[in-house]
Amino acid sequence: MAARSKRDLVLAAAKARQQAVAPYSQFKVGAALLAGDGRVISGANVESASYGLTCCAERVALFHALTSGADDFLALAVVARLPGGPMPCGACRQLLAEYAPDAAVWVADSRALRTIREFTVKELLPGAFLEVPKHPGPEP
C-alpha cells in the first residue's frame, strides 16, 4: 500500500479521535478502517460510568463499518496520545481476527503521526479462536 494511503488512514484516525467520548479517563483514541471498496470508516472510543461497558475506538469503527456493509478490510489505523501509539486490546484483536483477518494495523502517537508502527492482525492474535464448533448433538 502506498505510503500516502497509510498516512491518510492515520490522519483519518487522528481526526476521528477528536470525537472520542472519554470523560473518565481522558484517554482519547481514534481508529479508521480502510475497506476493500476504498471506503474509510472511522470511530472513536466511548466510555461509560459503568466502565466495563466502554467500547474501544477499534470496535466502534469496526461495528460501524460492518453495519455499513463494508468488508474485506485492508488496514486499520489507531491513534492516541501515547508514546509509540496505542496497541489494540485483546477484545479488539479478537474482533479484528474475525472480521479483518488480513488487515494491516498501523498505530501512531497523536503527537508524532509520521511515525507509524506496523503490524498484522495475524501477528497480534496468533492462534485466534475463529469458529464456534458445530453442536455435536447429545453425548453418548
- Min dist. Cβ of residue 27 to Zn ion (A): 12
**89 touches Zn ion (CB under 5 A):** yes
**96 touches Zn ion (CB under 5 A):** no
In the block, cell 484517554 appears at: 27
Residue 69's contacts (CB-CB under 8 Å, 6 or more residues apart) are: none
C-beta nearest to Zn ion: residue = 56
Q: x/- contact string, 35-54, with Zn ion (CB under 5 A)?
A: --------------------
Cα–Cα distance for residue pair 60/23, rounded to 1 Å: 17
Indicate which residues carry an active-site annotation.
Answer: 58
- Min dist. Cβ of residue 121 to Zn ion (A): 13
Which has the closest alpha carbon to 61: 24, 17, 102?
17
Apex 131 CA angle, 96 and 78, nearest 5: 5
Choose, by CB under 5 A, the member of 16, 75, 77, 92 that binds Zn ion.
Answer: 92
DSSP string, 82-101: STT-PPP-HHHHHHHHHH-T
**76 touches Zn ion (CB under 5 A):** no
Nearer to Zn ion, 5 or 54 (CB): 54
**56 touches Zn ion (CB under 5 A):** yes
The site for Zn ion (CB under 5 A) is made up of: 56, 89, 92
